[in-house]
Structure 1
Amino acid sequence: MNDKNSKLIEEIQFMIRTIRSVRHVNFYFVLSIALSILITALEAIGLISIVPILQFLGSDPLHGSDSFLSPFFDLLKNDAGVIDIKKVALFVLFVAILKSTFVFISGIVGGYIPVMMKAGAVRSLLKMHLRSNLINLMQYDTGAWTSVYYRFIDQLCSIVMSVASSITQALLLALYGGIMFAMSPYAVMLTLLFVVVLWLTTRWMTDRQGRIGRQITDAATSYQQAGLQMISGMRLVQTVAGEDRMEEWVAGKLHTFVKFHYKAITASSIMQPITTVASGLFVASLLFFGDSLFSGKETDWLGSIILFVVVFYRMLGPATGLYGVRITIAQLWPALQKVKMFFELCSRSQLSFGDRDLGKSPSFDISISGLNFGFADTPILQDINLSIPSGSMLALVGESGAGKSTLANLIMRLYPTSAGQISIGGVNISEFSRKSFAENVGLVSQDTILFNDTLKNNFLFVQPDATEAEIWEALKKAKADQFVEELEQGLDTVIQEGGSRLSGGQRQRIALARALIRPKQILILDESTSQLDAFSEAVVQETITNLHGTTTLIVIAHRMSTVRKADAVAVLENGRVVEFGTPNQLLMEDTMFRQMIEFQQVSPA
């Protein structure tokens, strides 16, 4: 088996696993197939009801008078043994109503399946996504992830529904083929020849649709990414008068997306005229060779041809439908490959946690030994060795890109370590449970994350059982209570995505207040006061100072005033700790730390 076939089998297996993982979807699939069988049976009965009409007109294409269908035809005869056209009419109406009922139920069931599948697939991916280490997920930007959640999973559901639809179409084809074979095996052979020629003629179109489908998938992702970057970069665009350039760039992505869609439409549309012309040639062939194909019949072969042509044209619907399924799958299969890729990425990126309770640790000393970390082949941190006693304050300083925030993310277990270990109280952090770790270790990042919700709910997301009194107390500690009181709805104010209704300093104070709502044993402050004015920073620094001694603090800052009361300072350069000691010790020698202090003209405490 070659690699291409192996890959295809893996993709089909992934699709089946995705279907089976959704609750109740197996039942609905079975029900959908059962309804398809019932609808097909009623379709057969409806077609067979044409035979009595032809008998009434003097033709007997299926030899109904002496075939296994004769008991059925006898029900439609009057006392004189002649077909009663009124009974036939009532029977046709009854079958139509019954079939319509099952079609209605089938439509509802068929509508449930993709909705259930999408919800189930999104939940499955979401569950893994939220528990994955960030380093692997950073291989793709927001636009790519958005495409997976809101576009590619939809297309995966469309593929599944196309496969389900193909079952119904195949059943109908089998039914029509059986009726046609009962009428004339020779005519069926001519039909098969027609189908083979048509399939060979249009095969290249399916391959082309597959290529176009991949191009559409890539173009859609690129266009979506461009749109997201445009929205997030509006301030810069307007600042540099770049509206025309941005419009041209996004429009270029849109043009590429639309161009490939036009190609797909053209390729799909050509099938209909080919089928129509081929069908006309087939019917003409039937009429031309009719006396040979239907010879040996006791009745006039013209009635047989009429029924055969009716069945043939009915067969064109499911035949075209099956071809449409092929086209749909060819176009959308790249979406399944994308979804599979992201599922596998999340699956192999899962963070591992133990079951130990960090809150019960006898000590909260942090020990970092032989720590190495990098992105792909690029080293970020090399041979980091640090010891942070419980209740002390360590300041991490260095130029941008030195690895300070990366080290903070490693301590928070957001990234997996490449080598070495980080331990708290002598226990590797991987052995602690996720819940106890989050309860005892906090991070205030330089990138403030606020959700499009009320201020109160942003606090409750971090601490679900927090009281309103605790929230206000935390706001006071972060010097944020005054501006929150001035908001029209106070804590019930919706702050929009990213806290866009707040200033940078206000957002930073809210983030700090969230971290202070409950006492933490370890608190990491990554540029947590960088956007505060001098007075607010002094107040917040006082709050941090009050935590000193009871909470282990790791402070990352470019402002040297922020680290003046630290117990120890670690200076990072190119991912290595190049200086370590107390502020006074480092100031007594010609160090990078001293140069930073002198440049900012800050005196140590």
Structure 2
Amino acid sequence: AANYLVSKLGNKQIAARNSVGANFLEYVQGIRHLKSYALIGKKHTGLEYTLKDLCQKSIRMEAVPGPFIVTAFIVFEITFLAMVALGLYYLNGNLITIPVLISFLILGYHLFHPLKVVMVDYLSLRYMNESLKRIIEMLDAPTMASGTAKLPDKFDICFKEVSFGYGNKPTVQGLSFDIPEKSMLALVGHSGSGKSTIAALIARFWDVNSGKIEIGGIPIKDIPQEQFYKLISEVFQDVYLFDDSIYNNIKIGNPEATETEVIEAAEKAQVLSFAWELPQGLHTRVGEGGSKLSGGQKQRISIARALLKDAPIVLLDEATASLDPENEIFIQQAIQELVKSKTVVVIAHKLATIMRADNILVLENGEIAERGTHAQLLNKNGIYRKMWDIQQQSNGWKV
């Protein structure tokens, strides 16, 4: 009974504990926004509720199986007392001697004590087993299939009737296009049109539902994953830095790089222009997630990583979309260094940054609505032209 109760109540307590962790993290991460909208007290009630719920379920998990454990302990003690009484009875009848009685009492006590410990430990193990089930479920999740093909000699990218969706919702449908080696393809379109999905599929963060993606004529599914990721560098808007030095964060791009190579990548990515002003230069710690640096500084470190990796394919999620003009200039200079002689796929928000792209795909509802160069798309007077005109008008807005 106690075993069943620990499993059932343990599941509920673990769920409550996870809920507290999620709510607390959400509250702390969003506290600036909560303050700005004067919602600190109101939002705190949700966290307070989860904490009270955890408290109740923790007490219940300890209190409900408690009587069973106490009862078992009492039974053990009564049994030991019965053994003492029986031993005294035999001693009184001269059936055993005092040394024999003492020996059996010592042995009996040491027999019951481990049983009590095992009972408590077993219930603790049953509780921990509920958490272990979640870990096993995660470890048993299917992994992406990986082939044994050699790395391609060429680095052109080909989409052949590619369709993909998250769950039952299709995101891209029947996409077919080629990206020649050492050329730049730009992806533009409204939010939710499938731009980021295409980049994620190229990087094989997901496998396609149907169709095929090839690099150098080799399906990416057939390339061993540990080799495949050497082919691609990514620079996204959201940069994550580890709580380590700038130097070590850059070296993630190539752990075997020499100090000279790291410094050279930092220089090309415009990292040195701000790093030398910091107390410990490149060896200054950046804080959790890069919290001690600005967005532009983190972005430059991200580009330095990609430069150090020197992969033949580069994926860019418009790295300058939310930067101030000064930082944007630095980032653009760093990107120019990064994309030299590379196959480049860029997700573009500012159309002025992709005017020199070799090919532009305009996406609409997961399909290719238009394709061509900047000049060709302007002449079509379609979606791209409308987006261009809107951005040109907004450049003249004043507040």
Coarse TM-score class (shorter-chain normalised): 0.7 to 0.9
Residues 505 and 536 of structure 1: CA distance in aligned 2, closer, same or farther (over 3 Å): closer
Asked if the contact 1:211–1:331 (Cα under 8 Å) also holds between the matched residues in 2, the reply is: no
Once the two structures are superposed, residues 83-130 of structure 1 have per-residue CA deviations (whole angstroms, 9 ceiling, x without a partner) of xxxxxxxxxxxxxxxxxxxxxxxxxxxxxxxxxxxxxxxxxxxxxxxx
Q: 1:313-352 maps to which residues of 2 (within 5 A)?
A: 313-345=109-141, 348-350=142-144, 352=146
Instruction: Determine if the alignment matches structure 1 residue 531 to structure 2 residue 322.
Output: yes
Under a length normalisation based on structure 1, what TM-score does the superposition of the two structures give? Answer: 0.59
Residue in 2 that maps onto 1:128: none
Question: In structure 2, what is the Cα distance between the partners aligned to 1:577 and 1:405?
Answer: 14
| Within-5 A mapping of 1:184-195 | none
Q: Could you tell me which residue of structure 2 aligns to residue 478 of structure 1?
A: 269
* Counterpart in the other structure of 1:354: 148
Structure with greater helix share of residues: 1
Amino acid at match of 1:513: A
**In the TM superposition, what whole-angstrom CA distance separates every residue of 1:546-571 from its partner, at most 9, and x where no partner exists?**
66672221110211122111111101
Distance 1:278 1:570, change over 3 A: same
Deviation for aligned residue 1:417: 1.8
Which of the numbers 431, 440, 452 marks the counterpart of 2:243?
Answer: 452
Letter in 1 for 2:146: S
Measured in 2, the distance between the counterparts of 1:208 and 1:251 equals: 26
CA distance in 2, matches of 1:487, 1:284: 73
Inter-partner Cα distance in structure 2 for 1:559 and 1:438: 28
Distance 1:236 1:459, change over 3 A: same
Structure (1 or 2) with the greater strand fraction? 2
CA distance 1:280–1:596, change in 2 (3 Å): closer
| Separation of aligned partners in 2, 1:279 and 1:558 | 74
Query: 1:230 maps to what in 2?
Result: 27
Give the alignment of 1:165-564 within 5 angstroms. 204-271=1-68, 273-275=70-72, 277-278=74-75, 299-300=94-95, 311-345=107-141, 348-350=142-144, 352-358=146-152, 361=153, 363-434=154-225, 436-517=227-308, 519-538=310-329, 540-541=331-332, 544=335, 550-564=341-355
For the 8 Å contact 1:478–1:510, the answer to whether it is kept is: yes
Q: Aligned equivalents of 1:546 and 1:287: distance in 2?
A: 87
SS for the counterpart of 1:462 is coil
Q: Which residue identity is paired with 1:323?
A: M
Q: Indicate if the aligned counterparts of 1:508 and 1:531 stay in contact, CA closer than 8 A.
A: no
Please state how far the C-alpha of 1:284 moved relative to its aligned partner.
7.5
Provide the rounded CA distance (Å) in 1 between the counterparts of 2:393 and 2:357: 14
Query: Superposed, which structure 2 residues align to 1:43-82 within 5 Å?
Result: none
Across the two proteins, how many residue pairs are aligned to each other? 393
- In structure 2, what is the Cα distance between the partners aligned to 1:548 and 1:593? 24
**RMSD across aligned C-alpha pairs, in angstroms?**
3.1
Assess, with a 3 A threshold, how the Cα gap between structure 1 residues 589 and 280 changes in structure 2: closer, same or farther. Answer: closer
Q: Post-superposition shift, 1:244? A: 2.2
Alignment partners' CA distance in 1, 2:376 and 2:252: 42
2-side partners of 1:452 and 1:235: how far apart?
A: 22
Aligned to 1:591: 382
CA 1:546–1:287 in structure 2 vs 1: closer, same or farther (change >3 Å)? Answer: closer
1:284-328 Cα distance to aligned partner (Å, 9 max, x none): 87799899x969x98347968877666544433233233224422
Deviation at 1:281, TM superposition (A): 5.7
SS of residue matched to 1:402? coil
1:29-48 alpha-carbon deviations (Å, 9 max, x no partner) = xxxxxxxxxxxxxxxxxxxx
Distance 1:459 1:300, change over 3 A: same
Structure 1 residue matching 2:243: 3-state secondary structure: coil
Q: Secondary structure at the match of 1:600?
A: helix
Higher-Rg member (1/2): 1
Q: Is the 8 A contact 1:366 1:424 kept in 2?
A: yes
Unaligned ranges ≥5, structure 1: 1-203
Check conservation: 2:269, 2:335, Cα contact below 8 A: no
Summarize the Cα distance change of 1:537–1:273 in structure 2 as closer, same or farther, 3 Å threshold.
closer
Contact 1:451/1:496, CA 8 A, preserved across alignment? yes
TM-score normalised per structure 2 = 0.87
| Unaligned segments of structure 2, at least 5 residues | 395-399
Compute the displacement of 1:353 (Å): 4.6
Q: Residue in 2 aligned with 1:86?
A: none
Find the residue that maps to 1:331 and give its secondary structure. helix
**Given that residues 269 and 337 in structure 2 are in contact (C-alpha distance below 8 angstroms), is that contact kept between their aligned partners in structure 1?**
no
CA contact (8 A) 1:354 1:432 kept: yes
Q: 1:283 to 1:320 in 2, by over 3 A?
A: closer
For residues 519 and 283 of structure 1, what CA distance do their matches in structure 2 show?
74
CA contact 1:219–1:257 (8 Å) conserved in 2: yes
Q: What amino acid is aligned across from residue 240 of structure 2 in structure 1? A: I
8 A contact 1:209–1:264 mirrored in 2: yes
Comparing 243-252 and 406-415, the one that deviates more: 243-252
1:453 match: secondary structure? coil
Distance in 1, matches of 2:358 and 2:107, equals 89
Aligned-residue sequence identity (percent) comes to: 31
